[in-house]
């Protein structure tokens, strides 16, 4: 059987049927707070169990515990604060005990039962979560832009924020039932924000060799200029899976989740989330969720030593390269040959080639995958 | 983990090993806590515990999985 949800129980807080209708009509009288897409995404990730055992945005006790100890007050590992920020003006007239309606694009999104309103020190937050106070770090910069108060409390989702990739989106309850139906006991999860090249394929297949199934989860949501578009990543993976993987060993499904570039802390967070999806193993890349040179190359691996009680096994797979002497894809651990024999599979180089409309060589990228990108016309975020 | 407790016996060697493991790795306050954690994980792993859902809801989920081509 697959992993138990983090904390023991899968959280499901999506309003349905009569109760949804009743609360929706009561919501007209509630104070409301308009949130952006990032908080709307958090709300859905909470309500659909991706962030189990969280049932809402963190109250101060939880926030400080996660910040200082990387654990919830009950000692369960949790490394990334999940917080709802608001300004003093927006919270005028809102008190502890009130129900607060969250709106996204003016439409009802979720109801938060306010349990706590508290201030936070963004510089301390940055230091602890990102290990830097440098606003040049994208996560720090985003932190400094957030508002001055935090609202904690359990939430219930009224409607999901619109999702262009809905038909490729599966939530923990769904993947768990799917794995059960397929009879998978050991499931390895792979997170990506890229079109797959042979290095990725090698790593996935290495992990698949000793597990029953592979969950490929492109992360959608916030993107920066020059990133592959979400639909390009999905189509590219479909092509790869169709042509190069056996039937019924891969589940491809998109996860909409915010990305903070918090390096090691975020690597653990990503593992916890995949545990909730039912994965027993999670592939952690070198410099996973890193940016620039804020984190050491192996920090995202080292941090896992502090969490023997995580409940999902991290797999630290070394970067793959092509070795002419070995005659195939290999990694540091299994190839004894010198750099003169090795060809690095660089995502950056492949991206440049594709941008120029060139087809990367076949030892770098499968032709069917390259075809998807080249045939798209506009594969990158502008 | 609340409620009544019972005692079980394990070998002293294993107990000492577990104690040392906790001292070196953290994450657990006591050998009891480690043992409870491991037993719960093992039993849950075999029974699929932790997801409370009615058969009708499970069928709804399967319906969506089928319609999307996952099943
Ligand atoms: Zn070699």
Domains of chain A and any CATH numbers: 17-157 (3.10.400.10), 166-255+318-374 (3.40.50.620)
Nearest residue in B to A70, CA atom: B27
Q: Is the pLDDT of residue B1 over 50?
A: no
Residue B6, domain member (yes or no) = no
CA A46-A51-A55 angle, to 5 degrees, is 50
Residue B28, domain member (yes or no) = yes
The Cα of B34 is separated from the nearest Cα of chain A by a number of Å equal to: 9
Cβ–Cβ < 8 Å for A297, A287 = yes
Residue B7, domain member (yes or no) = no
Find the domain containing B34 and state its range.
Answer: 12-67
Q: Burial level of A314, CB count in 10 A (0-12/13-18/19+)?
A: buried
Q: What letter would DSSP give residue A149?
A: E
Residues of A designated as active site: 193-194
Model confidence over B29-60: pLDDT tens digits?
Answer: 889 988 887 887 676 655 555 677 788 889 99
Residue B43, domain member (yes or no) = yes
Task: Give the C-alpha separation, A169 to B25, whole Å.
Answer: 37
> Please, which residues have CB within 8 angstroms of residue A173's CB and are 6 or more apart in sequence?
A10, A12, A48, A49, B51, B53, B61
**Bridge partner residues of A316 (DSSP):** A284
- CB–CB of A177 and B61 under 8 A? yes
Number of domains in chain B: 1
Q: Work out how many CB contacts closer than 8 A connect A with B.
A: 66
Q: What is the pLDDT of residue B50?
A: 65
Cβ-Cβ contacts under 8 Å, B27 against chain A: 77, 306-309
Q: What is the pLDDT of residue B34?
A: 87
Instruction: Check CB contact of B65 with chain A, cutoff 8 Å.
Output: yes
Q: Where on the phi/psi map is residue A73: left (φ > 0), alpha (ψ -120 to 50), or beta?
A: alpha
- CB–CB of A177 and B65 under 8 A? yes
- CB–CB of B26 and A251 under 8 A? no
- CB–CB of B27 and A309 under 8 A? yes
Cβ-Cβ contacts under 8 Å, B66 against chain A: none
Which helix (H) or strand (E) segment holds residue A187: the answer is strand A187-192
Cβ–Cβ < 8 Å for A359, A374 = yes
Which of B21, B52, B71 is the closest to A178 by Cβ?
B71
Query: Which of A198, A341, A218, A322 has its CA nearest to residue A270?
Result: A218
Picking from B27, B41, B53, B55 by the largest number of A CB atoms within 10 A of its own CB, the best residue to mutate is: B27
Residue B51, domain member (yes or no) = yes
**CA A286 to ligand 1 centroid distance, Å:** 20
> Please, which residues have CB within 8 angstroms of residue A242's CB and are 6 or more apart in sequence?
A368
The Cα of A233 is separated from the nearest Cα of chain B by a number of Å equal to: 18
Residue B2, domain member (yes or no) = no
Residue B5, domain member (yes or no) = no
pLDDT in tens, chain A (382 residues): 688 899 988 999 999 988 899 899 999 999 999 999 999 999 999 999 999 999 999 999 999 999 999 999 999 999 999 999 999 999 999 999 999 999 999 999 999 999 999 999 999 999 999 999 999 999 999 999 999 999 999 999 999 999 999 999 999 999 999 999 999 999 999 999 999 999 999 999 999 999 999 999 999 977 778 889 999 999 999 999 999 999 999 999 999 999 999 999 999 999 999 999 999 999 998 889 989 899 998 999 999 999 999 999 999 988 899 999 999 999 999 999 999 999 999 999 999 999 999 999 999 999 999 999 999 989 999 8
Residue B4, domain member (yes or no) = no
Q: Burial level of A218, CB count in 10 A (0-12/13-18/19+)?
A: buried
Instruction: Check CB contact of A81 with chain B, cutoff 8 Å.
Output: no
């Amino acid at each position: 059987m697959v992993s138990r949800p983090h904390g023991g129980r899968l959280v499901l807080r999506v309003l349905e049927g009569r109760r949804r209708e009743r609360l929706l009509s009561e919501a007209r009288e509630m104070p409301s707070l308009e949130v952006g897409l990032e908080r709307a995404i958090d709300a859905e990730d909470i309500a659909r169990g991706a962030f189990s055992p969280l049932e809402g945005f963190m109250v101060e006790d939880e926030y400080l515990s996660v910040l200082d100890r990387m654990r919830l007050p009950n000692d369960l590992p949790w490394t990334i604060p999940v917080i709802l920020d608001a300004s003093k003006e927006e919270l005028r007239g809102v008190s502890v005990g009130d129900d607060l309606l969250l709106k996204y694009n003016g439409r009802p999104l979720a109801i938060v039962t306010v349990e706590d309103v508290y201030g936070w020190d963004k510089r301390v937050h940055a230091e602890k979560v990102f290990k830097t106070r440098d606003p040049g770090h994208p996560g720090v910069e985003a932190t400094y832009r957030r508002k001055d108060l935090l609202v904690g409390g359990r939430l219930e989702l009224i409607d999901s924020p619109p999702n262009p990739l809905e038909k490729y989106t599966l939530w923990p309850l769904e993947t768990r039932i799917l794995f059960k139906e397929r009879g998978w006991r050991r499931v390895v999860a792979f997170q990506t924000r890229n079109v797959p090249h042979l290095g990725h394929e090698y790593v996935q297949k290495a992990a698949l060799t000793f597990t029953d199934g592979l969950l490929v989860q492109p992360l959608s949501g916030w993107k920066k200029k020059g990133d592959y578009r979400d639909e390009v990543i999905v189509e590219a993976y479909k092509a790869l899976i169709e042509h190069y993987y056996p039937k019924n060993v891969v589940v491809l499904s998109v996860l909409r989740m915010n990305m903070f570039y918090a390096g090691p802390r975020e690597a653990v967070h990503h593992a916890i989330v995949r545990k909730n999806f039912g994965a027993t193993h999670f592939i952690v890349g070198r410099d996973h969720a890193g940016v620039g040179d804020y984190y050491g190359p192996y920090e995202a691996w080292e941090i896992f030593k502090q969490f023997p009680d995580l409940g999902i096994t991290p797999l630290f797979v070394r970067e793959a390269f092509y070795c002419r002497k070995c005659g195939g894809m290999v990694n540091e651990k299994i190839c004894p040959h010198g750099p003169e024999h090795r060809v690095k599979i660089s995502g950056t180089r492949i991206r440049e080639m594709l941008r120029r409309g060139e087809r990367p060589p076949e030892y770098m990228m499968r032709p069917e995958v390259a075809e998807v990108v080249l045939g798209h016309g506009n594969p990158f975020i502008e | 983990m609340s409620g009544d407790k019972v005692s079980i016996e394990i070998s002293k060697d294993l107990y000492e090993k577990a104690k040392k493991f906790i001292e070196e790795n953290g994450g657990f306050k006591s050998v009891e806590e480690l043992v409870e954690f491991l037993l719960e994980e093992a039993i849950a792993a075999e029974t699929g515990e932790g997801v409370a859902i009615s058969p009708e809801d499970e069928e709804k989920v399967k319906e969506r999985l089928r319609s999307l081509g996952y099943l």
